[in-house]
Amino acid sequence: MTEALTHHNAAISDAVIPEAAVPAAANPENTPLDAAGVEAAVHAVADRARKASRPMARANRSWKDRGLRAIGKGLIENKSSILAANAEDVRAGKANGTSAAMLDRLTLTDARIDGLVAALENLANLPDPVGNVVRGQTLPNGLRLRQVNVPMGVVAAIYEARPNVTVDIAGLALKSGNAVILRGGTAAAATNEALVHVLRTALDSVGLPADAVQTVDQYGRDGANALMRARGRVDVLIPRGGRELIQTVVTNSAVPVIETGEGNVHIFLDESANEEMAVDILLNAKTQRPSVCNTVETLLVHSGSTVFPAVAKALSKAGVTLHVDQRVRGILPSGVSAEDATDTDWGSEYMDLDLAVAMVDSLDDAVKHIRTWSTGHTEAILTNNLANAERFIAEVDSAAVIVNASTRFTDGGELGLGAEVGISTQKLHARGPMGLTELTTTKWIVQGEGQIRG
């Protein structure tokens, strides 16, 4: 744990958010800014965001949807320059020894940009959450009450080398009527600069304020720290990344934080689970994209299951390294090798082709293991026993609980939210994939005809 976690106003460590140079546009003389200068610059960004948030809050759905489609068009038209910038970041990442999992998150491809464009179109097709009536009634005294969804105002995000998040968060902020301030980290600096340029140009092209999307990447770690201290200027801060980044932001921020969490995700293979289904789901949950937070990291095998050997063979053939307890080692099929598991494995978010495997004797034991080691992200059960499925749903306390499907479905796009800001593992305001509604708060509207309180 970094020293930053123990001091409320400590700087973020180099390992979490590396330093970024101040570009000439932000600092014409190209001279370093001291802490006070950076804070003033970040406050100016936040003040511009606040000003931009007002017309964003008033914009109707058709206007915001034009902005989303303009961003999608801009991504397509500028695809070559975005990919060139991304290639620059990837080359630097490889030279700096960045892990394979982080390089995967950093990398954009034609298909991934097309996916971002599709997500923006999905957002445009979703209902506008702003103005939605949460509840309402007329009181006996004639007062008419409505509680409605309204934008948060200024949303900030601090995240690691995930350029897709730049577009996802901007799109969600736009549709929900907010302005957004981004801190995407040095590892994706060139990519994010290209993307933010596209985003701002697109907004301006449809008459929405370009300052509804801004970045403080040019101010490096000091900029991130100033953003966390900008209480009153920034309404909510969302960290997205690994454990160290998230805990640093949660610990140091004076701005209210919606905590997104790492994914130590479990699948319980019940004794009644079908072999073909179990193989298909485990392969998908572990190997489709192992670097993301909804990838399974621990498999719990019921001691009465007969399908585990087929699952183990399929995972091993796909290149997955199994980390097993001694009971599982005793039933490994021939030709399948494994490493001995330790407590470190039960608590690991590998984000790679590794899987911890433990044997349990009952559903109770599986739930106990999950309660001990889970990060509260996603857990799944594979079973043909309806009673076990219902008990698992009732007793497992995570943001998402899945029955007979891949954990990879814990995703805003897959669940019909269009995209996601992150997956919240806290229990206040928002939990699970955070889409449009989660970027709104509520306002009470009281309409009367001269009533006074007696």
In a domain, 258, yes or no: no
242: left (phi over 0), alpha (psi -120 to 50) or beta: beta
Please state the pTM of the whole predicted model. 0.80
The CATH code of the domain that includes 307 is: 3.40.309.10
Beta pairing, strands 400-403 & 378-382: parallel
pLDDT digits 0-9 by tens, 107-119: 999 999 999 999 9
Which ranges constitute the DSSP H helices of 220-317?
A: 220-228, 243-252, 275-287, 308-317
81 and 229 within one domain: yes
From residue 365, give the alpha-carbon distance in Å to each of 90, 217, 270, 317, 369: 43, 46, 11, 29, 6
pLDDT for 14: 32
**What's the number of domains the chain is made of?**
2
283 and 182 within one domain: no
H or E element that contains 90 = helix 79-95
273 and 395 within one domain: yes
| Maximum CA extent, the chain | 82
139 and 236 within one domain: yes
Which ranges constitute the DSSP H helices of 96-188?
A: 100-106, 110-125, 163-175
What would the mean pLDDT of 219-225 be, rounded to a whole number? 93
Look at 221-235, 252-266, 409-423 and tell me which has the smallest mean pLDDT. 409-423
Q: At what angle do helices 61-77 and 79-95 cross, to 10 degrees?
A: 70
pLDDT digits 0-9 by tens, 279-312: 999 999 999 999 888 999 999 999 999 999 999 9
Higher pLDDT, 401 or 22: 401
- Residue in the block written with tokens 């969804």: 149
Q: How many CB atoms lie within 10 A of CB 59?
A: 24
- The DSSP secondary-structure symbol of 8 reads T
269 and 248 within one domain: no
Question: Based on the number of CB atoms within 10 Å of its own CB, is 415 exposed (0-12), middle (13-18) or buried (19 or more)?
Answer: middle
- Asked if pLDDT for residue 20 goes beyond 90, the answer is no
pLDDT for 256: 93
Calpha distance 49→174 (Å, rounded): 12
User: What rounded mean pLDDT belongs to the chain?
Assistant: 90
- The DSSP secondary-structure symbol of 251 reads H
224 and 90 within one domain: yes
In a domain, 391, yes or no: yes
341 and 236 within one domain: no
Give the range of the structural domain holding residue 137, as residue numbers without chain letter. 3-252
In a domain, 419, yes or no: no
**Collapsed DSSP state (helix, strand, coil) of residue 308:** helix
247 and 338 within one domain: no
Structure tokens given for 146: 């409505």
The CATH code of the domain that includes 159 is: 3.40.605.10
276 and 208 within one domain: no
